[in-house]
Amino acid sequence: MTDMIEPPWMAVARGHIGTREMPGPRHNPTITRWLHGLKAWWADDETPWCGTFVAACLDEAGQPVARNWMRARAWLDWGAPIAIGALGAVAVIKRGDNPAQGHVGFVAGRDAGGRLLLLGGNQGNEVNVSAFGPDRLLGYRWPLRLPTPELPAPRLTRVAQLSAGEA
């Protein structure tokens, strides 16, 4: 079996697992630092921040970010489309029936049931790995300047809770 090499942005993302929104008038300084670094026009952790998380991790790893990084579905126009859910690929999924809504995160693997495991932000108001039904997938993307991965992300035995909302 060939060992999978983890893309550098995945190490950045894993380092933020457990980062949570702060209820009330205060805001998590890590999330507000991401917003400031990305030159957002808002500075709170209640505004959906899944795209912020993806952009901040890619930026820290020296990769370009989507033009409208704050919008989950804008990531479908970033980088290059790839056919497989490779480790670290940006995955965009549906959220609800509204075509403007979505969610974005990094592929961490698949579980035994074939659900997509995403390492993402604003999943239950925190950074974690959550499971998503494969029927919600809109597409996978990969940085333009990097070789396209040839192997899908691994199957993981640890079961994550299936996410239905949004994430």
Q: If pLDDT is split at 50, 70 and 90, which confidence band does 164 have?
A: very low
Does residue 65 fall inside a structural domain?
yes
- pLDDT at res. 92: 98
- pLDDT at res. 167: 44
pTM: predicted TM-score of the whole model, two decimal places = 0.91
* C-alpha to C-alpha distance for 79 and 139, rounded to whole angstroms: 12
Does residue 56 fall inside a structural domain?
yes
Please choose, from the candidates 67, 64, 58, 54, the residue with its C-alpha nearest in 3D space to the C-alpha of residue 122.
54
Does residue 126 fall inside a structural domain?
yes
Mean pLDDT across 99-124? 95
Query: Structurally, how many domains does the chain consist of?
Result: 1
Does residue 157 fall inside a structural domain?
no
The residue with greater pLDDT, 161 or 4, is 4
Does residue 43 fall inside a structural domain?
yes
State yes or no: pLDDT of 163 exceeds 70. Answer: no
CATH of the domain at 23: 3.90.1720
Does residue 159 fall inside a structural domain?
no
Q: Which residue range forms the structural domain that includes residue 52?
A: 8-142
Please choose, from the candidates 65, 61, 113, the residue with its C-alpha nearest in 3D space to the C-alpha of residue 52.
65
State yes or no: pLDDT of 31 exceeds 60. Answer: yes
Does residue 29 fall inside a structural domain?
yes
> Percent of the chain, pLDDT > 90?
79
State yes or no: pLDDT of 2 exceeds 50. Answer: no
The residue with greater pLDDT, 14 or 150, is 14
Does residue 150 fall inside a structural domain?
no
Beta-carbon count within 10 A of 2 CB: 6
- pLDDT at res. 155: 84
